[in-house]
Structure formats: C-alpha cells, structure tokens
Chains A and B, each alone.
Chain A
Amino acid sequence: MSATLSAILVAIGVMLALLLGIGLVLLFSARKWKPDEGSVVEQINRILPQTQCGQCDYPGCRPYAEAIANGEADINQCPPGGEAGVKALADLLGRESKPLDASHGETKPPIVAVIDEDRCIGCKLCIQACPVDAIIGAPKMMHTVIADECTGCELCLPPCPVDCIDLVPRRRPFIWPVHAIEVESPPGREPEHPEREHA
C-alpha cells in the first residue's frame, strides 16, 4: 500500500518538477527572445509611403508605424499608401485587410508642391512646416521647392500667408498600356502557319 502511495507521490513530484522546469524555460525564452518591437516598427515603416503628411493623425510615418505596432492605430489610416498599402500591412501583420478609412482623406495621384516665386514674400513659414526639408530659402528671399525631394504632403499650404504654393501632378514614367495601344499580329503572319524552328 505504502509502496503504491509513494509511487503516486513520486509521479506527482516528477510531474510538478517537469511543469516547473518547462514553465521556467518558457518564461526565460519569452524574456530572452521576445519579438523585437524595433524591427516590427521598421518593417511597417518600410511599407508606409513616407509622405510624412500626418493624415493618419500621427506626426509622420514612423510615429504611425510605432502606433500600429503598439496596437493604438488601425492599419487603414494612410491615404497616400492607398488600398495596396493597407493590404501590404495586413499581409505583414497577419490581419484581415479592410477598406481605407475615408475620414483620414482620399488617395490621390502623386503631386509635388511648386512655389509661385513672384508671389513668395520669403516668410520661411513653409520651410518650418516641410517635414522632409524640401524647401530652400532665406528670410525675405524667394523660396523654392526641390521637386525631387517633395513628397506632396501639403503641409506647407496652411502656413503660407500669401497662398503662393500650388500642387501639381508629379511627372511619372511612361508605362506601356495593356489595352490602349493594340499591337496586332505582324503582316508576316499569313493564313497558313509559318514555318517554325524549334531548338
């Protein structure tokens, strides 16, 4: 009888020791190899279009990426990224894709800011507003936008006191259309099948 009892006690002891051991290992590994927050933020930030426009209610793309990583912000708050951006974020984070939240704005074709240099009074307010330092100029001197650096975020518009900044469509490379230009069968093709040579 006592032998059975002691066997049971040993079994319980072994089980408890195992549980404790595995628990400790899991605890340790969770502490040691926890998912790197920084790298998740970095991966999200790489998907974001880097317009730095703040339409997501965060002051730039990285802060928004941090908010997504912390679970504070949803993935559909970035209009410049568009539906494709939401989908890419959903794929990365293993979530369900969803339509863009219209309250943050609409997706627009790429634009750049252009300063009408005749009207500019050189107040420097747009320079301070530009999130990517794409406007150059000095006090009471004409300012100008470096078109290659401008992200089209529109943040320079509100501070301008003389309304001298316009947004124009950005030049995009030509992309061969699939349907508009129809290149049809060349005239070498006759009703009878051409001789063919196969390797």
Chain B
Amino acid sequence: MRDLEVGEHLYRFPGGLKLRHHKQIACRDPLARPDLPEALYLPLQQHQGPFGEVLVQPGDRVLKGQPLSRARNDREVPVHAPTSGTIREIKPWPVSWPPAGEAECLILEPDGNETWFETNALENWHDAEPADLVEHIRAAGLAGLGGAMFPTAAKLRGDWAQVHTLILNGSECEPYISCDEMLMRERPGAIIQGGLILARALGAGKVVIAIEDQMGAVDKSLSRALAEHDPDDICRIVEVTTVYPEGGEKQLIQVLTGAEVPHDGLPQDLGLVCLNVGTAAAARDAVIEGKPLIERIVTVSGPGIAHPRNLLTLLGTPVSNLLAAAGGVDDDIERLVLGGPMSGLPLASDRIPITKGSNCILVLRRQDTRREQPVMPCINCGECVRVCPASLLPQELYKYLKAESHEEADSLDLFDCIECGCCAHVCPSHIPLVDWYRHGKGVLRERGIEDARAQKARQRFEAREKRITEEKEERRRKREQRERKLKSGGDARSEVQAAIERAQSRSTESDKDADQ
C-alpha cells in the first residue's frame, strides 16, 4: 500500500464549529512560574492505565527528578519528584478525575534547594536504537500532554505495521487554551528536536507539525528552529484552518490526509502516530538532557481571572497557587474548569493538583455559566447532526440514553463520540447532550465489567462443582473397592494376617536391636 500523503492537501472533517478564539489574552505576558507551593500533591495515576510500583515511603528524602514509582510495562507511567524535599504522606486527595473524587497522592514537602537527582541523558541519540529511545521516554514518565494522558511509550511501539509519518499536534482548537502556542513560541527548537527523536523511535521518515492558521508568530519561530535543527528536511509545518475540534486526533488526521481512522482502529493502522507538541518537547528533555517529565505549561485564563497568562508549573502544584500567580480571581467566580470551555471538566476544589494532562485552568464568573433557559424537549431540528465531527446522530443517542436503552445507543456507536461538545453548544433546547453521552458510556463500561465478573464467577462455580463431584466419585470408588475386598473373604483375611506378621517381625527385630 502506498503511504498516505500527510498535509500535502488539506481536507475537511464533517461538522465542527467556528468559535471565538479568546487565546491571545493569555499570551500577552511572558511565561512565568508560580511560587513554590508548601506541598506538592502528586497523583500516582496521571495517565490512562494502571500506575506502577511505588518506590518511596512517607519520610523518605527525595531529589528533584527522582523516580517515585516504576513502570513495569508500557501501559504504566512512572511519577517523578518535581523538586527536592520530603515525602510526607501517601493518602487520598481531591483530583480532577473522577469529578468531586479523590485518588491516592504522594504529598511532597519541598525543601527549596532544587537539588537534582542524577540525570540520565542518552549520548548521541542520532545513532541510538529505537528500543532504547522508547525505554528512555518510558522511564521519563511521558504521557500525552494534550490532555488525554495516554502513555507515550505504548503509542511508540506495538503490534502494527510500519509507521511512516509522525504528526505533531500543535492545533489546540479550544477557545482560551494557549499552552501549546506558548510552547511553540518559547521552545520551537525543543519541539523540532523532540519530533526528530520520536520519529527515530517510531522508525517514521516524516514529521508533520500541524499549527492553526491564526498563530502567526508560531509559524516564524518554528521555521527558524527548522532551519537550525532539521538539516535533513524531515519536518514540515502545516497550517490548518481553525475549526473546532480540528485539534482532535481523528479530526486532525482527517484534515491532513483525507482518511478516517477506522472505527475500532488506531492511527497506526494508517501508518500514522499523532502526538502533542508538548510531548515532543518533553521527549527532547528526556533524551538530550535526561530530565523526566516534572513540569508543564498551564494556561490560566477566562473572564474571571485578573491577569490571564501561561505558567510553567511543577506537576503537583495546587490550582490555588496558579490562580494566585495569575493575579487572583474575581469576587463573583462561579466555576473552575480544567481544560477548555467546550470539553473541560468542572473542578470541585482549588486544592486539586496540576497533573501531566492539565493544559488549562479556566475561571468562569456567574454570568458566564448561567443558563439562560431551562432544558427543553428535543425538537428534532438536526443542528447537532450537522455539527457532529464524528458523523453520529446525537439526537438519536440522546433519546436512547434517556430511555435507558443503552445497548441501542452502543449500536449507534456511542463510543465514537469524542465529547467535543459541539452538539450541546448548538442545541436550541439547551440539552446537556455530552453529559448524557458520558453517563451512557459509564453505564456501558460498568455493564461490561459486571458481565466479565459474572462470567468469571460462573466458571469458578462450575469448576468447583466439577471438583466436588469428582472428589465424591473418588471416595465412592475407594469405598467400593474396600467393600469388594472384604467380601471376597480369603484374600482379605490373608492380607490382615500378613500385616500382623509384618508388625510382629518388626517388633522382634527392634527387641533384638534393643538387646544388642
């Protein structure tokens, strides 16, 4: 099969919305750091998948960059100490997922010295084996920084055919979020180098960096970095039209290639891997500087914050510290959102820490969140169908989910929904459609888990029944054997006689021994 052309022509994905950008407000000030907090709260799980083996205990002194947990496979991602200090506790703490829930966190009290643990750079990565690069990236704790937090190592190697092109996603399409734009302005060289490293790890011959057409300065800074770091002309910058949600993985691939990622399939099936530009910069830091992922750029923005800006933040920093660093919040703030206004998650508390996938903290006032009208019945207008980027039937899904016909919703490909929020945004009846889809997915996932449990219980019950009948059968057989022997008379008596004789001879022998 001929490799797909990536970015030669630009295509369109179905649906989508043109939204007000609101990005520049957070890009006026240069990148800054919030103050070092009194304690860092590090969730053990900051990615999709199980967490690894915890390596530290309360009371341990740790250095900046020291691994606090260890990955045993590609789906696990280690966590590192963002600064030097002491591990105070390991306990449940409020986190962003599940909403209003808690998860096990390592609580690190910084000592303020910022003493580095040994850094583990890979000399001469140009000649390194791809496996060594992946190993390095896994040990550095990389998970997708775009927000999905998928373990990077698991994207780089797996059971698929050759990957020919790496797409670096710099088209963050949600309003307000500008952390990737800031990164591309401030560290374009790191993104290019990281892209080349990741391409080598994948065995991909091409790198396409997708940016939005509204990011003028980014194009120039990336082009300069290309001239410096990419002598072999592997990387290419492609500007895509800003239509929400073109920054979604599947939508971006469709825009760049015209091909759709198959249902139940992966970008790798098309010979593509899509990674966030932040992940590329983190890969560069891991391989060239030997530094693990301990900080990221977070946008703090929205109508309710005094000085919207981008902050280079240590992982584990509570949201309250970021709000303070951005000049504090207005009096009438109503809600904090993690992510953008379209698909973000409401935060239950400002004690929640920043994790690897936290790209933006959005501060909303009462008038920004107020719903003008109550939820009305669906009028079948079809607006949601026209804007759905996944070509689903949002109103049908809604009707099935409302009627608790989850199987039918599943058969209409509920799980292909990317929860972008376009349908809810245009709904004239103000139906919170995405909430329904998230709910429906949760119900179906739990059902799957319950079914698996029930089938396991059935197998164990049947295995036990089988064992018990076999044991009974065995006992019955033995008893019958004994009875047969006793009934057969002579044999049995002679056996008893023989046993008595054996016992007697033993006792006389032992008497002899005693005599001697």
Interface residues of A (CB under 8 A from B): 45, 48-52, 60-62, 131-134, 148-149, 151, 172-178, 181-190, 194-199
Contacts and interface: CB of A to CB of B under 8 A. Distances in A.
Nearest to A190: B20
B36 interface: no
Contacts of B370: 184
B457 interface: yes
A62 B463 CA distance: 13
Interface in B77-111: 97-101
14 contacts: A45-B458, A49-B450, A133-B460, A133-B463, A174-B99, A174-B442, A175-B446, A178-B435, A182-B432, A186-B340, A188-B341, A189-B425, A194-B18, A194-B20
B303 A178 contact: no
A61 B432 CA distance: 40
Which residue, of A62, A176, A178, has the highest number of chain B Cβ atoms within 10 A?
A: A176
A199 B461 contact: no
A176 B364 CA distance: 21
Given A134-B460, A194-B20, A173 B442 contact: yes
Given A175-B439, A189-B425, A181 B346 contact: yes
B16 A194 contact: no
Interface string B428-444: 00101011101101110
Contacts of B441: 176
B368 interface: yes
A60 B464 CA distance: 11
A160 B101 CA distance: 35
Contacts of B425: 185-186, 188-189, 194
B12 A132 contact: no
B442 A194 contact: no
Contacts of B435: 176-178, 181-183
Contacts of B446: 172-173, 175
Contacts of B15: 198-199
B1 interface: no
A192 to B, nearest CB: 11
Contacts of B453: 50, 148, 151
A178 B439 contact: yes
Contacts of B421: 186
Contacts of B423: none
A61 B461 contact: yes
A62 B461 contact: yes
Interface of B: 12-20, 22, 97-101, 175, 243, 302-303, 340-342, 346, 364, 368-372, 386-387, 421, 424-426, 430, 432, 434-436, 438-439, 441-443, 445-446, 449-450, 453-458, 460-465
Contacts of A148: 453
Which residue, of A133, A148, A190, A196, has the highest number of chain B Cβ atoms within 10 A?
A: A196
B371 A184 contact: yes
B414 to A, nearest CB: 13
Nearest to A178: B439
Nearest to A48: B454
A61 B460 CA distance: 12
Contact of A197 (B16, B303, B430, B436): B16
B17 A194 contact: yes
Contacts of B442: 173-176
Counting from the closest, the 10 A-B pairs by CB-CB distance are A186-B341, A175-B442, A174-B98, A176-B438, A187-B368, A50-B457, A50-B454, A132-B460, A199-B14, A50-B458
Contacts of A181: 99-100, 346, 435
A151 B458 CA distance: 10
Contact of A185 (B12, B99, B371, B462): B371
Contact of B436 (A60, A131, A178, A190): A178
B432 A52 contact: no
Given A175-B442, A181-B99, A199-B13, A187 B364 contact: yes
A143 to B, nearest CB: 17
A187 B302 contact: yes
B452 to A, nearest CB: 10
A85 to B, nearest CB: 11
A196 B457 contact: no
Given A132-B461, A181-B435, A197 B18 contact: yes
B457 A186 contact: no
Given A185-B430, A197-B16, A174 B458 contact: no
B18 A195 contact: yes
A188 B439 contact: no
B439 A176 contact: yes
A59 to B, nearest CB: 9
A190 B434 CA distance: 20
Contacts of A131: 461, 464
A198 B436 CA distance: 24
B20 A188 contact: yes
A174 B446 CA distance: 9
B413 to A, nearest CB: 18
B426 to A, nearest CB: 7
Contacts of B303: 187
A62 B462 contact: yes
B175 A52 contact: no
A35 B19 CA distance: 60
A199 B12 CA distance: 8
A162 B453 CA distance: 29
Given A61-B458, A186-B340, A198-B15, 20 more contacts: A45-B458, A62-B461, A133-B464, A134-B460, A173-B445, A176-B99, A176-B439, A176-B442, A178-B439, A181-B100, A181-B346, A182-B371, A183-B424, A185-B372, A185-B430, A186-B175, A187-B302, A188-B19, A189-B425, A196-B387
B387 A198 contact: yes
B19 to A, nearest CB: 5
Contact of B457 (A52, A177, A184): A52
A52 B458 CA distance: 8
Which residue, of B97, B435, B445, has the highest number of chain A Cβ atoms within 10 A?
A: B435
Contacts of B100: 181
Contacts of B20: 188, 190, 194
B175 A50 contact: no
A177 B443 CA distance: 10
Contacts of B461: 50, 52, 60-62, 131-132
A64 B300 CA distance: 59
Given A178-B432, A196-B17, A183 B458 contact: no
